[in-house]
Every structure is written in C-alpha cells, then in structure tokens.
Amino acid sequence: MTAAETATAAPAATQCVDTDVEAIRRLTHEYSWAVDNARLDDIVALFTEDAEWDVTAFGMDTVRGSDALRAFYAGLIENTTHRCHLALNHRIDVNGDSAAATVYIHAFVTMPDGRRDESLGYYSDSYVRTGQGWKFQRRAAYPLLPAPPAPV
C-alpha cells in the first residue's frame, strides 16, 4: 500500500470505530431508558439470547439467558415504582465484531413503600455485533461506594 493509500485508509478505519463506539454508547443509553420505563421486551432485546448479567457484587446471582433476564427485570420492575439510571464515563474498546467497556452508573430506585435507594458503581460490559446491531453479551455491575441490597 502506498503512503497515499495508507493515509486515506486510516481515516476510514477511525471513522468506522467512532461509529461503533457511538452505537455502543447508544446501546447503554437504550438500556437505561428501557429499565427506567419498565419496557421489559426492549430490555431483553438489548442482550444476546445467551447473555450473562452478573450482579453478584450486589449480593444477587448471575443471570444467564433471555428467560432468566426477563424474570430478573420483571422482578425489578415489580419491586420498584420508579427507576433512574445515569450512564456516563464510557471507556469503550472495539475489536472488530466484539467490544468491551466500563461504564459508570448512578442509579436511583423508589420502592413501593416510598424508600429510595441509590447506587454508584460501574458496569463491565462485553458486546457483540449482531445482525440487529450491537448487543450486550455480558454485563456485570460493581459498586464504587457501599450500596444497599438491590430491590430484586
């Protein structure tokens, strides 16, 4: 490849990675929106069918597969009246059709009895590119500050 060909190929590759990074960032925002608005089908659709959701650091079990994800999030929705997730400080690394990231999370939930819980932590994510776009293949949540038990 000539120097001129290399110079024109590099911006195209960077542009592709930038597009992937933005699509992954959007995926994390879609997740927050779906959870906060009790959109159970939308939540499950953001994950691969064999995805893993690891919440052991918050005293719960690891959830695997679409059916288990649906049950987990149905319980969360049932046990809270309001939810608000803020996803920020994305650190995303793309490697072809897979990617990994850490994403800070500031989450609030309100319980049916009016109690409000707050969590500060981060997600450790693995993503895969599918025919429907980027999806979570694995998501794990970790506290950065002490947190109360989750309402699930």
pTM for the model: 0.86
User: What pLDDT is stored for residue 6 in this prediction?
Assistant: 46
More confident residue, 113 or 3: 113
Rounded to 5°, angle at Cα 78 from 72 and 79? 90
Residue 110 phi, psi (nearest 5): -115, 135
User: What pLDDT is stored for residue 128 in this prediction?
Assistant: 98
- Taking residue 108's Cβ as centre, other Cβ atoms within 10 Å add up to 15
User: What pLDDT is stored for residue 76 in this prediction?
Assistant: 96
CA distance 59 to 113: 22
- What's the whole-number mean pLDDT along residues 34-49? 98
The answer to whether residue 9 scores a pLDDT higher than 60 is: no
Straight-line distance from the first to the last Cα atom of the chain, in angstroms, rounded to the nearest whole number:
56
What would the two tokens of residue 34 be? 């779906």
- What's the whole-number mean pLDDT along residues 29-58? 97
- Which residues make Cβ contacts (< 8 Å) with residue 112, sequence separation at least 6? 79, 80, 81
- The CA R_g of the chain, rounded to the nearest whole Å, is 17
Span 94-151, pLDDT tens digits = 999 999 999 999 999 999 999 999 999 999 999 999 999 999 999 999 999 876 666 6
User: What pLDDT is stored for residue 92 in this prediction?
Assistant: 98
3-state secondary structure (DSSP) of residue 89: strand
User: What pLDDT is stored for residue 13 in this prediction?
Assistant: 58
The answer to whether residue 26 scores a pLDDT higher than 70 is: yes
More confident residue, 54 or 9: 54
The DSSP-derived string for 132-146 is TEEEEEEEEEEESS-
What ranges make up the beta strands (E) of the chain? 47-54, 62-64, 82-95, 98-110, 116-130, 133-143
